[in-house]
Structure 1
């Protein structure tokens, strides 16, 4: 498990939804949470790169995770959220359907990610977290936001 906290203790995850599924990412990577606002589109950008926003004089690229993960067409409404992340010194936003809460999980509550062979890439999954009747798909946001995404963003911003 690759989270910021000690592996023998509890770790905090920001819980968010995309479609019918609930996901979690290490809260340490989250800079802030904002409502979705219109973005400035960039020419020749991949579909999942919605554009950029000006966040207190910092230009922040915004990636729509439903498009990036192939989870169907996104719907932008009053619940749509941009999670602003700080990944290895790069600030970027990810659009999700909604954010619910911060959930603390112990090591015993986290199960290994299932493997599907070569059929499905699960390299960005930390595991599955269970709390009562809830199941969170725990993502390693650094692996999900690949270096390819960051290089595309830098190329377009140049």
Structure 2
């Protein structure tokens, strides 16, 4: 969506904001497929620490990642607000779905491109390639994430392979 003001055009982007601890992050809504309440997560043997396991999503096996661990934070403590944000991740041109555990979903907001500041170059504890920019919304800094980069190609391939393996060996959750 673009808004024309005089001779310039400003692109407006919609973002889903969510909390991890006390910090607020956002993912472009184009990457968000669904927001799910917490459900039973089935462990996957020998999975990386950040992979909590898999869930059944309408007959498909969905890998679920603890986003807090992925960002070097303490593991997610489950509360009534904890949920799974289902993301569509681009894996070398192929669409792969991943569930991201977040502490709480906040809102969908619109941010003009010209209001997005470049990511911080020093002092951030998150890998800079994860962050596409920072927006100051109502005196709160929100880190805008590149969800395709949050999950590197190698990690997505690993998650996808483990998910397929768990389906074949019967450790995946049964259809609901």
Instruction: State TM-score, norm by structure 2.
Output: 0.82
- Alignment correspondent of 1:115: 121
Preserved CA contact (<8 Å) 2:85 2:102: yes
Q: Which runs of 5+ in 2 are unaligned?
A: 3-8, 166-176
- Alignment correspondent of 1:10: 12
2:139 to 130, 133, 139: 133
2:49 to 47, 60, 70: 47
**Larger C-alpha radius of gyration, 1 or 2?**
2
Preserved CA contact (<8 Å) 2:66 2:75: no
In 1: Cα distance, 2:41 partner to 2:80 partner:
15
Instruction: State TM-score, norm by structure 1.
Output: 0.90
Give the superposed CA RMSD: 1.9
What SS does the corresponding residue of 1:44 show, helix, strand or coil? coil
In 2: Cα distance, 1:120 partner to 1:133 partner:
21
- Alignment correspondent of 2:61: 59
Comparing 31-40 with 93-102, which one deviates more in the overlay? Answer: 31-40
Q: Which runs of 5+ in 1 are unaligned?
A: none
In 2: Cα distance, 1:12 partner to 1:130 partner:
14
Q: Which residues in structure 2 correspond to 1:137-152 (within 5 Å)?
A: 137-152=143-158
Q: Which runs of 4+ in 1 moved over 2 A?
A: 5-8
